[in-house]
Amino acid sequence: MSNNLRFQVVAEAFKKHALAVKVPDERPSSYFGRYVFNREKMYKYLAKDVYDKLVDVIDNGARLDRSIADAVAAGMKQWALEMGATHYTHWFQPLTEGTAEKHDAFVEHDGKGGMMENFSGKLLVQQEPDASSFPNGGIRNTFEARGYSAWDPTSPVFIIDDTLCIPTIFIAYTGEALDYKAPLLRALHAVDKAATDVCQLFYDDVTKVSVNLGWEQEYFLVDEGLYSARPDLLMTGRTLMGHESAKNQQMDDHYFGTIPDRVQAFMKDLEIQALELAIPCKTRHNEVAPNQFELAPIYEECNLAVDHNMLLMSLMKRVARNHGFRVLLHEKPFDGVNGSGKHCNWSLTAEHNKKANGTLLHAPVKADSANPKATANETLRFVTFIVETLMAVYRHNGLLKASIMSATNAHRLGGNEAPPAIISSFLGKYVSEMLDTIEQTSNLKSQTSNLKREIDIPQIPDLIVDNTDRNRTSPFAFTGNRFEFRAPGSSVNCASAMIALNAAMAEALSSFKERVDKKISEYSERPEYAEGSGHTARFHAIIDVLREDIKTCKPVRFDGNGYSEEWVAEAARRGLDVEKSCPVIYERYLDEESVRMFETTNVMNRKELEARNEVKWEMYVKTVQIEARVLGDLSMNHIIPVSTHYQSQLIKNVQGMKDVFPAEQATHLSARNMKLIEEIAERTERIERLVDELTDARRIANRIGSIHERAIQYHDTVCPKMADIRNEIDHLEMIVEDGLWPLPKYRELLFVR
């Protein structure tokens, strides 16, 4: 890449930066939710009885009364028009990992030759996108294309630019879910019911259990001009070639370092616009790799958190361009440095008499000597939800891996920055000891949530230490009052992981309750377990079932180094899924135990699962296929011509040496160039041969009728050829003159200027 072009890119980036800096003149609390039809606006724009009915739908799961739809639509329209909106859209999440929307204007004929603003309850409640034009796994054909989007009242509508966006589910005419939101809502409902039933073993007043999610969004930023000069980044989201920079992340100086000014301006602008959309941005910082950053919000109800993450990813891309950047959400855009994940922090919160009362995964702070039975009950509740979470993860560890697997995330998993492609759970010393104790005895040893760590420096106060350490190699780690699912990739819809996890949790809790009830019935006939006799039939029934489950799920508990080769062998011995091939991993969705779990929890049926797997295999094939085509094009039309051009210059130099120096001296002086000439010839010849082999491998794979088998063929034959080609090109990059190399290099892409 020429120096003139480099300077031009940097100058243009600084120009955009200067124009894009936005300084807020208000406190965030004053503009939070400005463009969201939240409860404050609902109360203002809706009649009291309409407001009450809508809140009942949102809070208590009451069925939406269509009779209020017109009144709600009228209130929304009034607010939207006052905010400058001219259009509305149903905003949904098809199986593309993105969002979809079709904008319609608030206009109809007024019958007098003019137009009037109109928005009815019918338009609010449902619309009809073309289902055959979205990934559907064969559920919808072109000649039977009808599908419906239906309003989700639990996620507030919002305004982007001049459009009122209405979060919706997306289903086929025949009723199957064609999106992520519909099965997510079903999974959340299943957990609510199952967890509430279990909670009532401990508390009579639990009315609801909600799932909370706090995602951590990692991403890269690159200069827009450099991005545009890399066709591989432009078309695939990652660099298909590129030698490591001499300096990347080895100094560990980027993590939590000072945020560059241009990036800080982007972050401020992004946060302002996100807060206006009620996305509760909380944390921002530099990540480990150069040009890598992270944004994390305050925890929210799971469905809303998923919507906010999808909205934020779209917002990030738009705001970045205003600052001369492009956002890279690919899990591994650069080889040799950390990739990006979307860590999903998951927890459960119980409502007692319709009041939230903390997470069910939080241990009692300390023993209460005044009411030891209450403390024991709290500890038993804590252990129950920890153990049943482990049961869900153990029974469906392969499925959970399938829920986060993709052609892009496969590049990240197992690297030194990401958990391995084996789902296990880290608990930490204190929780592990508690479970081991219960397995052997009925002793409920209450663990304090916080411990003190004395620091021998007078000016520094004692640290409050959590009851677990961190294990960054664990895909599913307990971190004090929640589990952190670290395996999801940065570009995906985190609903995929949440659907599988919550459905598995609902199944585990339902099984636990059924077995406990059966034992309570057995023990209630025994006088030693009667009320007032110390521990009751309920207590012993819960302990007995917990002991069974602690033993059953023990193979999924692992507190060691997940990167070690020994762990792979040990995990296989324990019966955990150690498969690494993405297309094969997807098969776990169609295992009989997976289908049974999804169907019994009413999350998805077999037809929906089969269709989704068709989509997953097809997306895998298309992703690798596009990458292979781009790599072949760059190899033949960029890399080889530039390499041979430089080779020609070297040949002229060697010939010139012979004209100037005596033969023996010329041979000696041109030895290095001769060696480079030979290496370029050998590597370009290998690239040409490998590109031909890559093309043949694609053609052979494309002739396979089964999309499942085709995906496996792409994984087994196409991907290795791409790796071989990259190896040759990366060596050429270190040989060819820097000014001739046609693509921006890692040292330019990875450092913001």
The average pLDDT across 736-745 equals: 95
Contact status, residue 416 vs residue 563, Cβ threshold 8 Å: yes
Beta-strand runs (E) in 557-625: none
Give 136's DSSP letter.
-
- How far, in Å, CA of 273 to CA of 259, rounded? 19
pLDDT at residue 115, as a whole number? 78
pLDDT at residue 470, as a whole number? 63
Q: Which residue has the higher pLDDT, 596 or 464?
A: 596
- How far, in Å, CA of 410 to CA of 94, rounded? 22
- How far, in Å, CA of 230 to CA of 743, rounded? 6
- How far, in Å, CA of 176 to CA of 131, rounded? 11
Smallest CA-to-CA distance from 359 within 505, 195, 553, 475 is with 195
Place of tokens 């762990």: 567
- How far, in Å, CA of 155 to CA of 277, rounded? 12
In the chain, how long is the greatest CA-to-CA distance? 111
Beta-strand runs (E) in 517-558: none
- How far, in Å, CA of 353 to CA of 208, rounded? 9
Smallest CA-to-CA distance from 548 within 518, 504, 582, 524 is with 518
pLDDT at residue 464, as a whole number? 45
Instruction: Please count the residues of the chain.
Output: 753
Smallest CA-to-CA distance from 394 within 515, 552, 516 is with 552
Alpha helices in 661-702 (DSSP H): 663-669, 671-702
- How far, in Å, CA of 367 to CA of 95, rounded? 48
- How far, in Å, CA of 227 to CA of 644, rounded? 25
Place of tokens 């494309």: 702
- How far, in Å, CA of 697 to CA of 714, rounded? 8
Core vs surface per residue 423-440: b (16+ CB within 10 A) or e: bbbbbbebbeebbeebee
pLDDT at residue 463, as a whole number? 41
pLDDT at 614 over 90: yes
Within 13 Å of residue 79, how many CA atoms lie on the same side as its CB? Answer: 24
pLDDT at residue 23, as a whole number? 55
pLDDT at 142 over 80: no
Beta bridge partners of 459: none
What the block records as the tokens of 551 is 């033993």
Q: Which residue has the higher pLDDT, 4 or 231?
A: 231
Could you tell me the pLDDT band of residue 456, with boundaries at 50, 70 and 90?
A: very low
**Secondary structure string (H, E, C) spanning 636-670:** HHHHHHHHHHHHHHHHHHHHHHHHHCCHHHHHHHC
Q: Which residue has the higher pLDDT, 357 or 602?
A: 602
List, for residues 493-542, the tens digit of each pLDDT value. Answer: 999 999 999 999 999 999 999 999 999 988 887 776 666 555 688 888 99
Q: Which residue has the higher pLDDT, 437 or 526?
A: 437
Contact status, residue 368 vs residue 374, Cβ threshold 8 Å: yes
List, for residues 305-344, the tens digit of each pLDDT value. Answer: 999 999 999 999 999 999 999 999 999 999 999 999 999 9
Mean pLDDT of the chain: 89
pLDDT at residue 522, as a whole number? 87
pTM over 0.85: yes
List, for residues 633-687, the tens digit of each pLDDT value. Answer: 999 999 999 999 999 999 999 899 888 898 888 888 888 999 999 999 999 999 9
List, for residues 60-112, the tens digit of each pLDDT value. Answer: 888 888 889 999 999 999 999 999 999 999 999 999 999 999 999 998 887 88
Contact status, residue 293 vs residue 287, Cβ threshold 8 Å: yes
